[in-house]
Amino acid sequence: MTGLDQFVDMWAGKAIRYFGQLQLPKSRVKTRVKNGVPPASGRVIWFSWPAYGKTITQKKLEQELPHLQATGIDTVILDDGWELLWGDWQPQLKKFPDLKKLAQQIKQHHLKPGIWVAPFCVSSYSKTAKTHPEWLKHDQAGRPIRWQKFWRLPPDPLTLDLHQKKVRRYLITQLIKLGKLGFELFKLDYLIYAFLPHDQKNTRVYRQFFSELRAAFLAKKLPLEILGCGGPIKESLGLFELMRFTLDSSLQYFGWFVNQLVSGLNNWLYRDGFEVALKRVPHLGSAYGLTFDGLHLFDHHIFIDEKLKKSVAKKILKISKKIKSVNLNLTVGDSLLRSEMYRKNQWKKYLKKFKKIIAQ
């Protein structure tokens, strides 16, 4: 079974079975990453999705910054929710009036600014899709390819055709614009769209795109780190500093009340997302910057069983001590703004332990 198939089958509820059994010989792992991007290790990243979902605003993120800095976070990622429409990659000005100022404020708190983009997706409602229908992938009947066949509400993502040079140039231009605003790390999500309709032959152009992207940023003398998300593992080895190819650690899409109702689902996502990442360790070794998704400890807005939170936190430290050959990184999923002072201190102690273990 290919890495691509493993990712596709994850959505059928088979995450542990397939994601945990990556059948890739270590010799081939070494070959794929020999000339690849050096993977990150020991990074502690906060991203807005687990804590806020699409309710994130510039004001909320600015309020988080002093608490994130004081706790020991090194990178802050503005996740999904800043953009107006997928594919156009323009901000919602009511929520984010000044992205450049936001990136500057993140840096002023001695944190690296990052931002979320789903590069290969384009909303059917977007100006890009309407202006350039020829950029889209189509099925044999001439219809635009959709992953979500029955869900036509925004963003209703369609798939861009990476084989077209104009498409790759457009995407790189949009990312460079964000780089010029001051964002240095890009969480690039839904990378599986490059392979729709489930075609492994797209690996070449997929990898070519990221090579062209890095060359363009280098030419502009802009810093670039990539956190690859939502894509096939084998096809992505050596491309990114960090990878986060697991389930979301919690659902924050619909607000506080609904999250209470889906607390059981949150427990499942949190447990299985962690186990999926863990089971890759023996297969991948030091091949990429493994990122445990959205660790939760004390945020009372995140409805996950308290015993499960403590158990996962202990396991992460235990694994970090036990396996020295793996490049481990950590993402924090709690809002530290919402945490009491003594909880912030507990977060600070925990992250200090993690960094100390990784540094040894």
Q: Which two tokens stand for residue 183?
A: 């964002």
Q: What is the pLDDT of residues 9-42, one digit of tens each?
A: 343 333 333 333 344 555 555 656 667 888 888 9
Q: What is the pLDDT of residues 59-69, one digit of tens each?
A: 999 999 999 99
Fold topology of 3-13+41-359: TIM Barrel (3.20.20)
Residue 82's pLDDT band, with cuts at 50, 70 and 90, is very high
Q: How many other CB atoms are found less than 10 A from the CB of residue 7? A: 24
CB 72 within 8 A of CB 351: yes
pLDDT value at position 1? 36
Work out the burial of residue 73: count CB atoms within 10 Å of its CB; fewer than 13 is exposed, 13-18 middle, 19 or more buried.
Answer: buried
Averaged pLDDT, 84-102: 97
Task: Report the candidate in 352, 271, 357 with the shortest Cα–Cα distance to residue 309.
Answer: 271
pLDDT value at position 3? 42
Percent of the chain with pLDDT over 90: 47
Q: Please say if the pLDDT value at position 296 is more than 50.
A: yes
CB 190 within 8 A of CB 121: yes
Q: Which of 99-103, 151-155, 215-219, 230-234 has the lowest mean pLDDT?
A: 151-155
Q: What is the CA radius of gyration of the chain?
A: 19
- If phi > 0 it is left, if psi is from -120 to 50 it is alpha, else beta; for residue 143 that is beta
Q: Please say if the pLDDT value at position 109 is more than 90.
A: yes
pLDDT value at position 319? 81
The residues facing 226 across adjacent strands are 186
Find the largest Cα–Cα distance for the chain: 60
The pTM is what? 0.89
Task: Report the candidate in 272, 269, 190 with the shortest Cα–Cα distance to residue 232.
Answer: 190
Q: How far is CA 177 from the centre of its chain?
A: 20
Q: How far apart are CA 320 and CA 351, in angstroms?
A: 12
Helix (H) or strand (E) holding 228: strand 225-229
Q: Quote the mean pLDDT of the chain.
A: 83
DSSP class of residue 143? P
Name which residue leads in pLDDT, 297 or 132.
Answer: 132
Helix (H) or strand (E) holding 330: strand 328-332
Residue 6's pLDDT band, with cuts at 50, 70 and 90, is very low
Q: Which two tokens stand for residue 98?
A: 């000044």
Q: What is the pLDDT of residues 310-335, one digit of tens each?
A: 998 998 888 888 776 678 889 998 99
Q: Which two tokens stand for residue 219?
A: 């030419």
Name residue, tokens 């894509």: 231
Name which residue leads in pLDDT, 241 or 230.
Answer: 241
Q: How far apart are CA 331 and CA 152, in angstroms?
A: 31
Q: Which two tokens stand for residue 60?
A: 């909320």
Work out the burial of residue 84: count CB atoms within 10 Å of its CB; fewer than 13 is exposed, 13-18 middle, 19 or more buried.
Answer: middle
Name residue, tokens 């060359």: 215
Residue 172's pLDDT band, with cuts at 50, 70 and 90, is very high
